[in-house]
Amino acid sequence: MRILITGGAGFVGRHLALLLRDQGHQVTALDTLGDPNAVFGCHELTRWEIPVVKGDVGDQVLMRHLLNEHEAVAHLAAPTVGVEQMLRTPGTQVAALQEAATLAGLLTADHTVLYASTSDVYGLHSQHYGNRPMAEDDLTVYESPSVSRWNYSRAKSLAENLFACCPARTVCVRIFNAYGPGFDHPQPRRVIPRFTAAVLAGLPLRVSGDGSQHRAFCHIDDLVVGMACSLDSAGKFTQGGNLAMNLGNPDTYVSIRELADLIAELAVTEGFVDKAPEILTEGYAYSEHFDDTWNRCPDIGRARTMLGFEPTVGLREGLLDVLTFHADRDPSR
């Protein structure tokens, strides 16, 4: 297929682009290249001769042109990443929803679409359902609309509906905490890159709250395989068919405190640092108060049944990948 990836220079976008290229597809990346992490990703793509178009999904003239040239779209573009950045600029989620509406309005019955959604759409699931894994048809639960933390979740959920109602064949993949080498490089924004940068710099690992909140982390190699299979599966839907699909690794379900301990242990035992860093609970606070005690684990039964999806990269192996990547690029080492 001829596949357009919006946000293609981002972490997930460039890994997906490289996999699809290796599978024989013709791939084009669209990205605003608005931050250093995307610029880094652009260099990776051009090195493998994947064309990168600098532009915005909201540009209807550009999008019409690109959609005429591509029969499949993976929509990964996002105006900002990381909870802290989302809280500082809540209006960016409205802009993201507007871009999703623009794209959905331009799609035809001849297109196949993968929309990169998020496990965030489940909100405070664990506080209302207990700590069972999250399934695609479960209800979503958020705090008050006055809490900006959930603007991102609501916008993603509304965008899923936009794509589900458009003429194209659509799959909305809900990503559970992707990570891997090159994640948030060179600007660390999320928990694994933050902990990695801190440990290599000899700084304390600062944990939000007491660190008892649990997440399941999915290595990028596993994730993009699931995404490529999802896109292929969506291409076989009948006209206007759509589906939501969880992609994650329930076997890597750990507390944030356990994650910090594991990164610290690996850094010492694998020789990246001589001394384990201090781990500070209550050492990190977001710019706005919200309840951060909920847990998040995927039920991937649908992906297993429909795609044969089975994550293979364990957390220790994946975190070692991350530490090695960043240590190799640390000019002080």
Query: Which residues belong to the active site?
Result: 152
Count of beta carbons in the 10 Å neighbourhood of residue 173: 26
Strands 218-219 and 178-179: parallel
Beta bridge partners of 206: 280
Q: Is 54 helix (H, G, I), strand (E, B) or coil?
A: strand
Strands 2-6 and 26-31: parallel
Sign of the Cα torsion 80, 83, 84, 88 reads positive
Q: DSSP letters of 141-176?
A: B---TT-GGGHHHHHHHHHHHHHHTSSSEEEEEEE-
The answer to whether 135 and 301 are in contact (CB under 8 A) is: yes
Helices 191-200, 315-328: axis angle to 10 degrees equals 50
List the Cα angle 126/128/133 in 5-degree steps: 35
Both structure tokens of 224: 């993009």
Cα separation, 17 vs 38, whole angstroms: 14
Residue 150 CB partners (closer than 8 Å, separation 6+)? 123, 142, 143, 290
The answer to whether 290 and 123 are in contact (CB under 8 A) is: no
The answer to whether 116 and 75 are in contact (CB under 8 A) is: yes
The answer to whether 211 and 281 are in contact (CB under 8 A) is: yes
